[in-house]
Structure 1
Amino acid sequence: MEKFKRKVFYLGGFDPRGVRFYHQLYRDQAARHAALTGDSLAVSARRAGAAGSTVSAAWTVDNDAAGTQTDYEYLRWEDLVGKVWIRNPLKLAWRSIATYVGHGRFMQFKRMKALRPGPVLTICYPPFLAVMIPLLFALIPALLLWTVLPFWAAALVGVGVSALLSGRWLNKLVVPWLLRFIHYHHRLAAGGPGAALDERLDAFAQRIADELDGPWDEILFVTHSAGTILGMSVMRRLFDRRGDGVPAHFAMVGLGQVVPVVALRTDARWYHADLSALADKPFRYVDLSFPPDGAAYFNVNPLLLVADRHAARVDMLSPRFHLFYEPENYHGGWSNKYEAHFDYLRVGDRLSPVDFISLTAGRRRLDESIAAFRTIP
């Protein structure tokens, strides 16, 4: 019997970890999926994508029990992320000042809060904690030791304690990562993608266009986190290349969608033009964003951020991770915000019809997966 052939394009978030990390993550989650279903998934080694290794990497996923074969293509931009990834904490602090001045001038915080209050807190708490945590770690021991030591000595000890402990706590609360993420998207909103990223987005759109008429039963363009922002620009470019539109078996999937981070900046006119251009384009879009994920915009349709209508067929869903994890494995709470944002790419303790492996290598088509998910009470 001929296999069901699926083509997946994956565009990830603002992460300098590249294809090696995500290929291994896919292999690990495929093994978890196999343990839950009994369907053995064979994930091949990585290879260069059709447009070259700088644009994409690829691997094949064979699910013989389900009769499916997936050609998975990882769209690469981690090299561009690495070039702007700020490692020096003092430089990051300095750049963050300009970032929040820019957000104060151009971000529509009132509208953002009306859409989802959680991401407003996620944007605003990093600079507060970046100041308060080092200050408290310095101040508390300094004041305690001042009773037995000269002020200068107590202050030096406090600074030393703060230097030793602050970084660990800030990393636990993902403050440095969020500051880098927010700074990058401040620059992206204000200045546009720039020549290198602009060229890469064109290459991504061309790769998808090249496969739309290929021998595939289903084509999925899956975006995650910051990739959901860039994904809308890729879609605009894809339609520019396809005057006749996209086939019915193509769909875009957004995981942990964060489009308002750029779309709600009044100075991001280039991005508003991309979103506006999609208003009258018919295509399938599925958004899976989890309400407790403080970075994601659950139930916020990105196609309505700059337009009052759209021609796309849209489903807005929560993946409801809490139903599919045991309590001890569920990524809840402040200290797990970063991990929770990656649960979109994982398989839980119980199988979900819309977990990442089920969508990209499972036996159901996308719409069948969503229909099965909707039956879960």
Structure 2
Amino acid sequence: MAGFKRKVFYVGGFDPRGPRFYHALGAEQIERWNLRMEEAATLSTRRNVSDTRVDWTIANPGRAVETDYSFLRWDDLVRANWIGNPFTLAWRAFRAYRDNIRNLDFATGKRLGKGQLITLFYPAIFTLLFPLAFGLPIALLLAIWLPWLFALPIGLIAGIFLARPLLVKMHAPWLLRFFVFNSELGGSGADPALNARLDAFADEIEAALDQGWDEVVLLTHSNGSILCVPLLARLLRRRGGALPPNFTFMTMGHCIPLVACRRDATAFKEELAYLASQDFRWIDIGSPPDGAAYSGVNPMLLVAPDPRPRMELLSPRFHLFYDPETYHKGYANKYEIHFDYLRTGDRVSEIDWPSLMATERTASQAVADFRANH
């Protein structure tokens, strides 16, 4: 029987892949961790609890640890917002960038991180430039035989098809969809389906808070951090502003300023300000090379001069745990960098995903050990 029992609720990013992908990723990382640690942790099969929740268990008998892991699903809502038609994507991306240029607090955004502003704009710039770079030479060649009225559109269409593999490799279409979703979320607030889903998530988490777990963690990755601002506000209001001492909110690669820096995101900023007035434990793990995350940034400072929550800002220092040939770096690996939070490297870190799931250390103890050792 487990001596330490942990409950984790996971809210992922803007990803159409559901629990099957993340379960497989977790199993792979637990296996890698076992090899490095010479332990025998296991990850169970998936259990469909409801339409919005899938569970699995991470057990480590050698340490008498059991982690009950609940994947809170919103991948169906991502798929519903996944723009397939390239012309529709182009139009909605144009509107999203127009609204960002009008409403984004660029001075604050620049102060928080230039890399994040580059990540915001490079998908749109490259999506425009690459088809032109490929298509205009073709149009010039065709213009030898055809009128410009025909040569130019044929060249541009050819440029779009030729540029597509390169843009996909850079994950530009994915990032465009991500920015469109969050731009529309910031401008108008969550839609009814998303609000209902957050209510369902709050029901699941609230029910677990009084079940005697040694630790309860609300864990988010990427875009999940944005969703968890109104989600955590719901929990706090239901509990009279008090969460139990065994509860920790943990963000990995948070991108909250993407919405919080919008002048028109009034509802979202009100929820963030409410969080800033409460007392709870918040740990953020953010890697400085990750241009899709705001590492070292306390987002509550955007709306409150003296936030009350006990927030720990921590760099995972991935470069210490990967060999040079396997370390993800550079623009070609931006996507991989953003997922390293959910992996274990060539050497084990106290705050890599398997270590947080398969050891008896609480999240706070893991952070303390990481700081002491690195």
TM class, shorter-chain normalised?
Answer: over 0.9
3-state SS, counterpart of residue 367 of structure 1:
helix
Conservation of the 8 A alpha-carbon contact between 2:2 and 2:61: no
In structure 2, the residue matched to 1:338 is 335
Q: CA deviation at 1:292?
A: 0.6
In structure 2, the residue matched to 1:296 is 293
In structure 2, the residue matched to 1:329 is 326
**Separation in structure 2 between the aligned mates of residue 346 and residue 101 of structure 1, nearest angstrom:** 36
In structure 1, the residue matched to 2:117 is 120
In structure 2, the residue matched to 1:350 is 347
Q: CA deviation at 1:213?
A: 1.0
In structure 2, the residue matched to 1:193 is 190
**Separation in structure 1 between the aligned mates of residue 161 and residue 270 of structure 2, nearest angstrom:** 47
Q: Name stretches of at least 5 consecutive residues in structure 2 with no aligned partner.
A: none
Question: Alpha-carbon deviations, 1:44-97, whole Å to 9, x = none?
Answer: 111123xx2x22110111111121000000010001111010011111111111
1:105 matches 2:93: no
In structure 1, the residue matched to 2:30 is 30
3-state SS, counterpart of residue 314 of structure 1:
strand
Q: CA deviation at 1:115?
A: 1.1
Conservation of the 8 A alpha-carbon contact between 1:16 and 1:79: yes
Q: CA deviation at 1:364?
A: 1.6
Matching of residues 113-192 of structure 1 within 5 Å: 113-143=110-140, 145=141, 149-150=144-145, 158-159=155-156, 161-192=158-189
**Of 199, 206, 214, which aligns to 1:202?**
199
Conservation of the 8 A alpha-carbon contact between 2:2 and 2:66: no
In structure 2, the residue matched to 1:308 is 305
Structure 1 225/2 Cα, relative in aligned 2: closer, same or farther at 3 Å? closer
Output the amino acid matched with 1:299.
G
Output the amino acid matched with 1:14.
F
In structure 2, the residue matched to 1:223 is 220
Q: CA deviation at 1:175?
A: 1.0
Structure 1 258/151 Cα, relative in aligned 2: closer, same or farther at 3 Å? same
In structure 2, the residue matched to 1:3 is 3
**Separation in structure 1 between the aligned mates of residue 95 and residue 30 of structure 2, nearest angstrom:** 42
Conservation of the 8 A alpha-carbon contact between 1:102 and 1:186: yes
3-state SS, counterpart of residue 65 of structure 1:
helix
In structure 2, the residue matched to 1:47 is 47
Q: Name stretches of at least 5 consecutive residues in structure 1 with no aligned partner.
A: none
Q: CA deviation at 1:366?
A: 1.2
Q: CA deviation at 1:371?
A: 1.4
Conservation of the 8 A alpha-carbon contact between 1:39 and 1:66: no
**Separation in structure 1 between the aligned mates of residue 311 and residue 110 of structure 2, nearest angstrom:** 23
Q: CA deviation at 1:159?
A: 4.4
**Separation in structure 2 between the aligned mates of residue 233 and residue 340 of structure 1, nearest angstrom:** 27
Structure 1 102/357 Cα, relative in aligned 2: closer, same or farther at 3 Å? same
Conservation of the 8 A alpha-carbon contact between 2:288 and 2:295: yes
**Separation in structure 1 between the aligned mates of residue 327 and residue 355 of structure 2, nearest angstrom:** 19
Structure 1 154/273 Cα, relative in aligned 2: closer, same or farther at 3 Å? closer
**Separation in structure 1 between the aligned mates of residue 252 and residue 304 of structure 2, nearest angstrom:** 22
Conservation of the 8 A alpha-carbon contact between 1:39 and 1:64: no
**Separation in structure 1 between the aligned mates of residue 311 and residue 153 of structure 2, nearest angstrom:** 58
**Separation in structure 2 between the aligned mates of residue 352 and residue 130 of structure 1, nearest angstrom:** 37
Question: Alpha-carbon deviations, 1:27-59, whole Å to 9, x = none?
Answer: 11111111111111111111123xx2x221101
Output the amino acid matched with 1:44.
S
Structure 1 63/2 Cα, relative in aligned 2: closer, same or farther at 3 Å? closer
Name the % identity. 44
Alignment length, in residue pairs? Answer: 372
**Separation in structure 2 between the aligned mates of residue 359 and residue 281 of structure 1, nearest angstrom:** 25
Matching of residues 356-367 of structure 1 within 5 Å: 356-367=353-364
**Separation in structure 1 between the aligned mates of residue 282 and residue 171 of structure 2, nearest angstrom:** 30
| TM-score normalised over the length of structure 1 | 0.94
1:371 matches 2:374: no
3-state SS, counterpart of residue 282 of structure 2:
strand
3-state SS, counterpart of residue 373 of structure 2:
coil
Output the amino acid matched with 1:32.
R
Q: CA deviation at 1:163?
A: 3.8
Structure 1 48/110 Cα, relative in aligned 2: closer, same or farther at 3 Å? same
**Separation in structure 1 between the aligned mates of residue 100 and residue 286 of structure 2, nearest angstrom:** 24
Conservation of the 8 A alpha-carbon contact between 2:249 and 2:282: yes
1:256 matches 2:253: yes
Q: CA deviation at 1:291?
A: 0.6
**Separation in structure 1 between the aligned mates of residue 87 and residue 241 of structure 2, nearest angstrom:** 51
**Separation in structure 1 between the aligned mates of residue 60 and residue 77 of structure 2, nearest angstrom:** 33
3-state SS, counterpart of residue 193 of structure 1:
coil
3-state SS, counterpart of residue 164 of structure 2:
helix
